[in-house]
Structures are given as structure tokens and as C-alpha cells.
Structure 1
């Protein structure tokens, strides 16, 4: 396994498990502890992880998200359950925005069974999935292509959204918490999400609990601004209470 492949594996592993022990990583990849330590040092220099005693954990300051295919493999069962719950918030005939993401893709899978819906998205995977569903009126917003995340971002995408009136928007995020709100490491994503919130009548953040406590360079909006969140029951109870105390309606989906 090449060094770049090892580091990609380590980064994916920590995303899925939150923490990782050096000896476990060495065993999984059949390499020495010293090799893993060198990889960890490089990942730490890149700002992706933080070293702790005997291992490493994901850096709370998110410098880079996983690529789309890697994200699709993480917490898949949770995403399916969140997607089913979110789809039940939608009524026939509405104009629905689905933000780019692997959880919103699961919403699309459920909405494909509905009739007389208009779906707007910046996600190429969602567009492709809905392309042959005649009951769905489909819009892709265009803009600069983010090849890593199979989506469009930036000013052109945001400008298209400003011409629309959306009934309900499902906003994705890889980093959110009460202190930093919803954030992202990429400016182009922030612009699109802000534009959506401004033109949608009802906005719902949908993100599994593994993303909570992370924050990116660009602030998008505080949690209280979005007013509703769909997440899973693995979010600590004390955090659930703190969020609700800010006046946010929290939809907690049981995944245990």
C-alpha cells in the first residue's frame, strides 16, 4: 500500500470511528508502528487529525471533507433511517431542495415514490437517480463543479437559487455544533447553503451525530437560524437539551 493510500485509509477510519489506536491501524494495514506514526505526523501537519496518547482522533477544526464515495460508506444505516424520516416531512406538490450529500441522497430515494413533486438540487448523484422518475419535476442548479463531492458550488449556483421559491429545504453539513453553528471548510459551499436558506420557507438541517462538534473555516449560519434539525439518537442527551434550549426543533431518529 502506497503512503497516500495508507493516509487515506487512516483518515476514513478515523471519520468512521472518531478515534483510532496506533496498534490497531498497524495491524489492519500490516505495517510497523513507526510507519503509522509517520503517516499520522503527516496527517497532523495537514490539519486533518490530532494525536492523542496511543493514537489519534479527528480534528475538530475540519480542514477537508471526505470524498463522496468515501462518505457514502460511512454510517449508511443511519443515513437510510434519517432519509426515511425526512421524506415523511414532505407533502405531495411541494417544491423541495435537496442539498448535496449522501444523507440527502437517501431522502431522494424515498421521495422518488411520491407524485407531483418538484425537486431542486446541486447534487449530480441525486439528479442522476431522479432522472428517470417521470413523477418528479427536476432542476439542477448548475454552477462550478466540485468534483470531489459530485456537486455544484459557488456564486453561479447561488444566483440561480435566488430566482426560486422553495417550500422545504434539506441542508446537509459535515460540521455543526451549538457554538459554531453550521460551517464548512469550503467557501463555495457556504454561499450555496446561505442562498438556499434565504429562499426557502422551511429549512431543515439533516446530519448524523458523527458530524456534531466539528467546525469548518466558513460559518454559514447559527443553529437557531435554521430552526429544525434531523439527527440520530447517538447525539449525547446533554447536547440535545442544549440545542433545544436555543429554540431549535430537534427531530431525533432512533438508530440504536
Structure 2
């Protein structure tokens, strides 16, 4: 691997594992410990990771996100289960918003396979709109706007302006970072404006996000968690977070993360 490929590998690996040792990274890439340390130092200077004793972890302050294709490979089993659970929250005839991202792509697949007819779906995600294009029981709108090529979606003021013209029954939202202290956040100002617009026009607001993103935060605040009506996540969400979320009156829906496990729901 050339240096850029190594640093990209380290960042993707730490995104998936949250923490990694110098030893395992050196073995995986067949390079010396010194090479790994130099690569990590550069990633740390970019604000992407934090060096710890014997290894490295993901920086809780996210300054960038992985591209769509690479994110799609992470936690796929959990994302699929969350998508199936989220689709259980919809009813025939509703207008839905599907936010951008690989987790929401799984929601789109589950919505398309559901028995709900006469649905209207609004999205800013090109992968989702392409997937739903030939579904006869779904009326489809795309927000348009500035194209974020890394994430295959539209962001910014134009997309937000379109969203302000419609009323949404159920909005399914994604987030790269969320917790009780800082709420939902993102490293992208353009994404923030779209999500803020969705929140103002939606009757039911559902965050669909796995526990690996809990405790992370981005520069741009979107909303406090108590502005959401539901959260769909997995059982590895910290127990104290589960309890406080329910105490705030938010419906918390959790899926098991092991293959073949059943769905679980908390706080009904």
C-alpha cells in the first residue's frame, strides 16, 4: 500500500472497530510499527483519530465521514434489521421522508417490500431514489439541490427550501453522531440545513442510527434528542442512555445485533 491507501485503511478500520492496536494494524498492512505510528500521527493532525496507549481510536469530534460505498460495508446486519423495524412504523397512504445514507437505504428496501400502498416518499438520496424508481405503489420525490458526491445525496439551501413546501407524516433521519448531551449533529453544514428543515415539517420524527455512532459529535448541531418522537437503534446502546431516552418520552426501538436474533423494543 502507498501511504494514502494505508491511512485510508486505518481510518476505515477504526470506523468499524472504534479502537485498534498498533500491533493489529501493522500485521494487517504488513508494515512496521513505526510506519503505523507515522500514519496515525498524520490522521491525528487531520482530527480524524486520537492516539491512545498502544493504539488508536476514532475521534469523538467527527470532522469528516466515510464515502457511501465504504459506509455500506459497516454493520450491515444491524442496519438491515433496523430498516425492517423502521418500516413497521409506517401506514398506507402516508408521506415519508427518507434521509440520505446507507442505513436509510435499508429502510427504503424494507418500505418497498412492505404491504403499505399509496405511499409518497421524499428523499435527498440518489441511491434511494434509484432503488424506488420502479415501485408502482410509491410516488417518489427527490429534493434536488447541491450534490454531495461522496454521500450520493443533495444538501444545502436548495434541498432545504423544497422540504419547507411539503408536509411529512413520518421522517426517517440518519446521523453520523448523536448523544444525550449534544443531540444530533454533523460535520457538514449543508447536511444540517436539510435535517433542520425536515424536523420542522414532520409530524413523526424517527432517528435510525446504530449505537456505534452514539457519543460522537460533529461541529454543526441539528437538534436535541427530545425533538424526536422515536429512535431506532441496537441493544448495544449504553443502558444509561436507554433509560434517559425513555424518560424523555422518546419511543426507543432496539434490534439485536447477532445473526438470526429477534427484534426487541423498549419503552412502549
TM-score (norm 2): 0.94
Shift of 1:169: 0.2
**Residue 128 of structure 1 aligns with which residue?**
130
1:217 to 219, 225, 233: 219
- Deviation digits for residues 173-219 of structure 1 (CA, Å, limit 9, x no counterpart): 01000000000000000000000010011100110000000000000
**Residue 186 of structure 1 aligns with which residue?**
188
Separation in 1, partners of 2:48, 2:250: 30
The alignment's C-alpha RMSD in Å is 0.8
Separation in 1, partners of 2:229, 2:136: 33
Separation in 1, partners of 2:11, 2:242: 27
The aligned runs of 1:91-102 (5 Å cut-off) are 91-102=91-102
Shift of 1:143: 0.3
**Residue 201 of structure 1 aligns with which residue?**
203
**Residue 50 of structure 2 aligns with which residue?**
50
**Residue 34 of structure 2 aligns with which residue?**
34
Structure 1 unaligned blocks of 5 or more = none
User: Does residue 145 of structure 1 match 2:143?
Assistant: no
Separation in 1, partners of 2:67, 2:120: 28
Q: Match of 2:6, SS?
A: helix
- Deviation digits for residues 115-162 of structure 1 (CA, Å, limit 9, x no counterpart): 211110000000010111121100000000000100000000000000
Q: Match of 2:175, SS?
A: coil
Separation in 2, partners of 1:74, 1:203: 24
Q: Match of 2:257, SS?
A: coil
Separation in 1, partners of 2:204, 2:242: 21
